[in-house]
Every structure is written in structure tokens, then in C-alpha cells.
Amino acid sequence: MNGYVGWVVAHADPEIAKIQAAIIAWPPWPIARVISFVFAGTAAAAWGFPRLFDRGAPRAAVKPLLIASLVFLAIDIGLKWLLAPEWRGLLRALLGASAGIEAGGSG
């Protein structure tokens, strides 16, 4: 994702501030997805570590972490469904024909 954001910033309209281009290039739904993955990974580690390395340790409650992971995954899907068409317009306004968007994309 960082490479994509860097590409967008490099090809953005020169009149647009670089930080503004970076913010527009990074949509909110991948951020929700990363948070979801962090919760899922933490839940997996909390569940698996004691089973593999410390069998006498008390078991951590992983259900709240899994629920949080699913909530953020739903937020990811919802944000993408709601905002992707609008975000495409923002990117087109930011990049325009200089990035080849108008030269044969599917949108």
C-alpha cells in the first residue's frame, strides 16, 4: 500500500500538497482491515501460545478479540462498498489524465 501511495503522490497534480495527495491515496477501509487483522492475530497468539509453550498457564479470553476483528472487517467491507465510487472520483480529480486513468480503465 505504501508503494501505491508513493506512486499516487508522485503522479498527483503539482498544485495539490503532497500530504493531501497521500491522504486521498490512502482510503479508510484498508486501515479498518489492518485493525481487524491485528485483532485476529492477537487472538490467535493468545489462543495458541499457551497451548504450545505454557500448558499450565491460564487461558486468555479470545472471544472479545475475535468479535472486534469481525466488527472491523465488517467496517472495512461497509466503507469500501459506500465510499469506493466516491474515492475513485477523488483519485481521478487528483491524478487526471497524467496517470493514464482516462486512457482505458474500467470505471
Q: What is the pLDDT of residue 107?
A: 46
The arithmetic mean of pLDDT across residues 61-65, rounded, is: 94
pLDDT tens digits, one per residue of 24-36:
888 899 999 999 9
pLDDT of residue 57: 75
The pLDDT of residue 65? 97
Residue type, 38: V
Higher pLDDT, 3 or 65: 65
**Angle between helices 18-25 and 63-95 in degrees, nearest 10:** 130
CA distances from 60 to 6, 50, 65 (A): 40, 9, 10
